[in-house]
Amino acid sequence: MCITSLSEKFGIFNFTCDVCGRELFTGARLCDACRAALPRARCICPLCGRSVGEEGVCPECKERRNACEKCRSAFLHEGDAARLVRRYKDGARYLAATLAGEMLPLLPAFADAEALVPIPMTARAVRRRGFDHGRLLAETLSGLCGLPVLAAAVKQRETAPQKTLSRRERERNLEGCFHIVRRAEVRGKTLLIADDTMTTGATVHELASALLRAKAKKVYAVTFTSVAYRDVFGLPPAETLRRPLP
Protein backbone atom coordinates (compact mmCIF):
# COMPACT_ATOMS: atom_id res chain seq x y z
CA MET A 1 0.00 0.00 0.00
CA CYS A 2 1.70 3.19 -1.21
CA ILE A 3 0.42 6.28 0.63
CA THR A 4 0.84 9.71 -0.94
CA SER A 5 -0.64 13.12 -0.33
CA LEU A 6 -3.17 14.76 -2.64
CA SER A 7 -0.64 17.31 -3.85
CA GLU A 8 1.96 14.60 -4.55
CA LYS A 9 -0.50 12.34 -6.35
CA PHE A 10 -2.60 14.78 -8.32
CA GLY A 11 -0.86 18.13 -8.06
CA ILE A 12 -4.00 19.42 -6.29
CA PHE A 13 -3.45 22.39 -4.02
CA ASN A 14 -6.00 24.05 -1.78
CA PHE A 15 -5.84 27.77 -1.16
CA THR A 16 -8.37 28.14 1.67
CA CYS A 17 -9.14 26.04 4.74
CA ASP A 18 -12.25 23.91 4.19
CA VAL A 19 -13.47 24.76 7.70
CA CYS A 20 -12.69 28.43 8.39
CA GLY A 21 -11.82 29.75 4.91
CA ARG A 22 -8.40 31.04 5.99
CA GLU A 23 -5.89 31.39 3.13
CA LEU A 24 -3.50 28.46 2.74
CA PHE A 25 -0.50 28.07 0.47
CA THR A 26 0.83 24.69 1.59
CA GLY A 27 -1.45 22.32 -0.32
CA ALA A 28 -3.23 21.35 2.90
CA ARG A 29 -7.02 21.07 3.00
CA LEU A 30 -7.29 22.36 6.58
CA CYS A 31 -5.36 25.00 8.50
CA ASP A 32 -3.36 23.79 11.49
CA ALA A 33 -5.76 25.38 13.99
CA CYS A 34 -8.91 23.84 12.52
CA ARG A 35 -7.34 20.43 12.08
CA ALA A 36 -6.12 20.43 15.68
CA ALA A 37 -9.60 21.42 16.88
CA LEU A 38 -11.41 18.52 15.15
CA PRO A 39 -12.79 16.19 17.84
CA ARG A 40 -10.79 13.01 18.40
CA ALA A 41 -11.62 10.06 20.63
CA ARG A 42 -9.42 9.60 23.67
CA CYS A 43 -10.47 6.01 24.19
CA ILE A 44 -12.01 3.66 21.62
CA CYS A 45 -13.54 0.21 21.51
CA PRO A 46 -10.85 -2.00 19.88
CA LEU A 47 -13.48 -3.64 17.68
CA CYS A 48 -15.95 -1.02 16.41
CA GLY A 49 -13.56 1.90 16.94
CA ARG A 50 -16.22 4.15 18.47
CA SER A 51 -15.40 6.43 21.37
CA VAL A 52 -16.08 4.88 24.78
CA GLY A 53 -15.79 6.16 28.33
CA GLU A 54 -13.37 3.50 29.57
CA GLU A 55 -10.84 1.02 28.18
CA GLY A 56 -12.16 -2.21 26.71
CA VAL A 57 -14.76 -3.60 24.34
CA CYS A 58 -18.00 -1.59 24.32
CA PRO A 59 -21.20 -3.29 25.56
CA GLU A 60 -22.71 -3.39 22.06
CA CYS A 61 -19.74 -5.34 20.67
CA LYS A 62 -19.91 -7.68 23.68
CA GLU A 63 -23.57 -8.28 22.96
CA ARG A 64 -23.14 -8.78 19.22
CA ARG A 65 -19.78 -8.78 17.46
CA ASN A 66 -19.66 -6.62 14.34
CA ALA A 67 -18.93 -8.58 11.16
CA CYS A 68 -16.03 -6.18 10.54
CA GLU A 69 -12.86 -7.47 12.17
CA LYS A 70 -11.80 -3.93 13.05
CA CYS A 71 -13.16 -0.40 12.45
CA ARG A 72 -11.39 2.92 12.84
CA SER A 73 -12.49 6.56 12.44
CA ALA A 74 -10.45 9.72 12.08
CA PHE A 75 -12.74 11.89 14.24
CA LEU A 76 -15.84 11.95 16.39
CA HIS A 77 -19.05 12.90 14.58
CA GLU A 78 -19.30 16.25 16.34
CA GLY A 79 -18.66 19.93 15.68
CA ASP A 80 -16.77 20.82 12.51
CA ALA A 81 -16.09 17.16 11.68
CA ALA A 82 -19.84 16.45 11.52
CA ARG A 83 -20.40 19.67 9.55
CA LEU A 84 -17.81 18.59 6.97
CA VAL A 85 -19.70 15.31 6.48
CA ARG A 86 -23.04 17.12 6.10
CA ARG A 87 -21.60 19.60 3.59
CA TYR A 88 -20.09 16.74 1.60
CA LYS A 89 -23.35 14.82 1.47
CA ASP A 90 -25.23 17.98 0.58
CA GLY A 91 -23.20 18.35 -2.61
CA ALA A 92 -19.75 19.79 -1.76
CA ARG A 93 -18.00 17.07 -3.74
CA TYR A 94 -14.56 18.66 -3.40
CA LEU A 95 -14.67 17.72 0.29
CA ALA A 96 -14.05 14.09 -0.71
CA ALA A 97 -10.40 15.14 -0.86
CA THR A 98 -10.54 16.53 2.69
CA LEU A 99 -12.25 13.47 4.16
CA ALA A 100 -9.99 11.02 2.33
CA GLY A 101 -6.87 12.93 3.31
CA GLU A 102 -7.77 12.70 7.00
CA MET A 103 -8.67 9.00 6.71
CA LEU A 104 -5.36 8.23 5.04
CA PRO A 105 -3.22 8.07 8.23
CA LEU A 106 -5.50 5.29 9.55
CA LEU A 107 -4.71 2.90 6.69
CA PRO A 108 -1.52 1.36 8.13
CA ALA A 109 -3.84 -0.32 10.67
CA PHE A 110 -5.26 -2.27 7.70
CA ALA A 111 -1.96 -3.18 6.03
CA ASP A 112 -3.28 -6.51 4.71
CA ALA A 113 -6.33 -4.96 2.98
CA GLU A 114 -6.44 -5.74 -0.74
CA ALA A 115 -9.25 -3.47 -1.94
CA LEU A 116 -11.59 -0.69 -0.86
CA VAL A 117 -15.34 -1.33 -0.88
CA PRO A 118 -17.78 1.61 -0.93
CA ILE A 119 -21.21 1.45 0.69
CA PRO A 120 -23.58 1.10 -2.30
CA MET A 121 -26.59 3.33 -2.91
CA THR A 122 -29.72 2.62 -4.93
CA ALA A 123 -29.98 4.36 -8.30
CA ARG A 124 -32.88 6.39 -6.94
CA ALA A 125 -30.81 7.59 -3.96
CA VAL A 126 -27.96 8.62 -6.28
CA ARG A 127 -30.35 10.65 -8.42
CA ARG A 128 -31.84 12.28 -5.34
CA ARG A 129 -28.45 13.27 -3.92
CA GLY A 130 -26.93 14.10 -7.30
CA PHE A 131 -23.85 11.91 -6.89
CA ASP A 132 -22.69 8.68 -5.28
CA HIS A 133 -20.89 10.08 -2.27
CA GLY A 134 -19.68 6.69 -1.03
CA ARG A 135 -18.15 5.72 -4.37
CA LEU A 136 -16.49 9.13 -4.78
CA LEU A 137 -14.94 8.95 -1.30
CA ALA A 138 -13.60 5.43 -1.91
CA GLU A 139 -12.17 6.44 -5.30
CA THR A 140 -10.47 9.49 -3.79
CA LEU A 141 -8.97 7.40 -1.01
CA SER A 142 -7.89 4.84 -3.60
CA GLY A 143 -5.98 7.53 -5.46
CA LEU A 144 -4.01 8.28 -2.29
CA CYS A 145 -3.25 4.77 -1.05
CA GLY A 146 -3.12 2.71 -4.24
CA LEU A 147 -5.73 0.15 -3.20
CA PRO A 148 -8.23 -0.60 -5.98
CA VAL A 149 -11.93 0.12 -5.51
CA LEU A 150 -14.06 -3.02 -5.66
CA ALA A 151 -17.70 -2.05 -6.12
CA ALA A 152 -18.72 -5.56 -5.19
CA ALA A 153 -22.21 -4.90 -3.84
CA VAL A 154 -25.48 -3.35 -4.90
CA LYS A 155 -28.25 -2.06 -2.67
CA GLN A 156 -31.35 -3.95 -3.70
CA ARG A 157 -34.01 -1.77 -2.11
CA GLU A 158 -34.61 1.61 -0.54
CA THR A 159 -34.45 1.66 3.25
CA ALA A 160 -36.13 3.98 5.73
CA PRO A 161 -34.02 6.92 6.99
CA GLN A 162 -31.74 5.70 9.77
CA LYS A 163 -31.46 8.93 11.79
CA THR A 164 -34.21 8.27 14.35
CA LEU A 165 -33.80 4.49 14.60
CA SER A 166 -32.17 2.53 17.41
CA ARG A 167 -29.39 0.08 16.63
CA ARG A 168 -31.75 -2.90 16.53
CA GLU A 169 -34.21 -0.97 14.35
CA ARG A 170 -31.35 -0.02 12.00
CA GLU A 171 -30.32 -3.66 11.73
CA ARG A 172 -33.87 -4.74 10.87
CA ASN A 173 -34.17 -1.86 8.40
CA LEU A 174 -31.00 -2.92 6.54
CA GLU A 175 -31.41 -6.68 6.75
CA GLY A 176 -30.85 -8.28 3.35
CA CYS A 177 -30.55 -4.98 1.47
CA PHE A 178 -27.02 -5.62 0.08
CA HIS A 179 -26.31 -8.16 -2.65
CA ILE A 180 -22.80 -9.14 -3.77
CA VAL A 181 -22.57 -9.11 -7.57
CA ARG A 182 -18.81 -9.68 -8.00
CA ARG A 183 -18.45 -12.78 -5.86
CA ALA A 184 -15.41 -14.16 -7.67
CA GLU A 185 -13.46 -10.95 -6.92
CA VAL A 186 -14.52 -11.04 -3.27
CA ARG A 187 -13.62 -14.66 -2.56
CA GLY A 188 -10.53 -15.02 -0.37
CA LYS A 189 -9.88 -11.26 -0.23
CA THR A 190 -9.28 -9.01 2.77
CA LEU A 191 -11.47 -5.97 2.15
CA LEU A 192 -11.71 -2.49 3.64
CA ILE A 193 -15.11 -0.76 3.65
CA ALA A 194 -14.71 3.03 3.30
CA ASP A 195 -17.49 5.40 4.35
CA ASP A 196 -17.95 8.97 5.59
CA THR A 197 -19.41 8.17 9.02
CA MET A 198 -20.44 5.33 11.31
CA THR A 199 -23.36 5.81 13.69
CA THR A 200 -24.14 2.43 15.27
CA GLY A 201 -22.17 0.30 12.82
CA ALA A 202 -25.33 -1.36 11.47
CA THR A 203 -24.60 -0.45 7.84
CA VAL A 204 -21.00 -1.66 7.78
CA HIS A 205 -22.06 -4.78 9.69
CA GLU A 206 -24.71 -5.62 7.10
CA LEU A 207 -22.36 -5.04 4.16
CA ALA A 208 -19.51 -6.92 5.86
CA SER A 209 -21.86 -9.84 6.57
CA ALA A 210 -22.80 -10.00 2.88
CA LEU A 211 -19.12 -9.91 1.87
CA LEU A 212 -18.26 -12.69 4.32
CA ARG A 213 -21.14 -14.82 3.00
CA ALA A 214 -19.55 -14.33 -0.42
CA LYS A 215 -16.38 -15.88 1.08
CA ALA A 216 -14.31 -12.75 1.73
CA LYS A 217 -11.41 -13.66 4.02
CA LYS A 218 -11.75 -10.64 6.35
CA VAL A 219 -13.52 -7.30 6.31
CA TYR A 220 -12.46 -4.04 7.98
CA ALA A 221 -14.01 -0.56 7.94
CA VAL A 222 -12.58 2.96 7.96
CA THR A 223 -14.64 6.16 8.24
CA PHE A 224 -14.03 9.87 8.55
CA THR A 225 -16.22 10.16 11.67
CA SER A 226 -18.05 7.90 14.10
CA VAL A 227 -20.70 8.60 16.72
CA ALA A 228 -19.49 8.03 20.28
CA TYR A 229 -20.97 5.14 22.20
CA ARG A 230 -23.12 6.87 24.83
CA ASP A 231 -23.96 4.05 27.26
CA VAL A 232 -20.52 4.03 28.84
CA PHE A 233 -21.71 2.01 31.85
CA GLY A 234 -23.29 -0.75 29.79
CA LEU A 235 -26.88 0.35 30.33
CA PRO A 236 -29.49 -1.44 28.19
CA PRO A 237 -30.74 0.26 25.02
CA ALA A 238 -33.38 2.96 25.41
CA GLU A 239 -36.14 0.86 23.84
CA THR A 240 -35.54 -1.80 26.50
CA LEU A 241 -35.83 0.77 29.28
CA ARG A 242 -39.14 1.99 27.83
CA ARG A 243 -40.78 -1.43 27.90
CA PRO A 244 -43.49 -1.82 30.58
CA LEU A 245 -42.71 -4.08 33.50
CA PRO A 246 -44.31 -7.52 33.27
pLDDT at 26: 82
Burial 14-27 (b: 16+ CB within 10 A, else e): beebbbeeeebeee
63, 129, 135 from 120: Cα distances, Å: 27, 13, 7
- C-alpha 189/C-alpha 115 separation (Å) is 8
Q: What percent of the chain has pLDDT over 70?
A: 81
- Mutual angle of helices 167-174 and 202-213, in 10-degree steps: 40
Q: Report residue 173's pLDDT band, with 50, 70 and 90 as the boundaries.
A: low
C-alpha distances in Å from residue 183, one per residue of 21, 76, 123, 207, 211: 44, 33, 21, 13, 8
Instruction: Return the pLDDT at 210.
Output: 94
Domain boundaries, the chain: 38-230
pLDDT of amino acid 202? 86
The pLDDT value given to residue 207: 94
pLDDT at 169 over 70: no
Q: Is the pLDDT of residue 53 over 90?
A: no
Report for 146-160, 161-175, 179-193, 228-242: range of highest mean pLDDT: 179-193
Amino acid 245: pLDDT: 38
Tell which residue, 47, 22, 26, has the closest CA to residue 34.
22
The pLDDT, as a whole number, for residue 66 is 86
Over range 129-146, report the average pLDDT: 96
**57-62 — which CB contacts under 8 Å span 24+ positions?**
58/229, 59/229, 59/231, 59/234, 59/235, 60/167, 60/200, 60/201, 60/229
> Which fold, 38-230?
Rossmann fold (3.40.50)
Q: How confident is the model at residue 164 (pLDDT cuts 50, 70, 90)?
A: low
Q: Which residue has the higher pLDDT, 175 or 25?
A: 25
Taking alpha carbons only, the member of 228, 195, 209, 186 closest to residue 65 is: 209
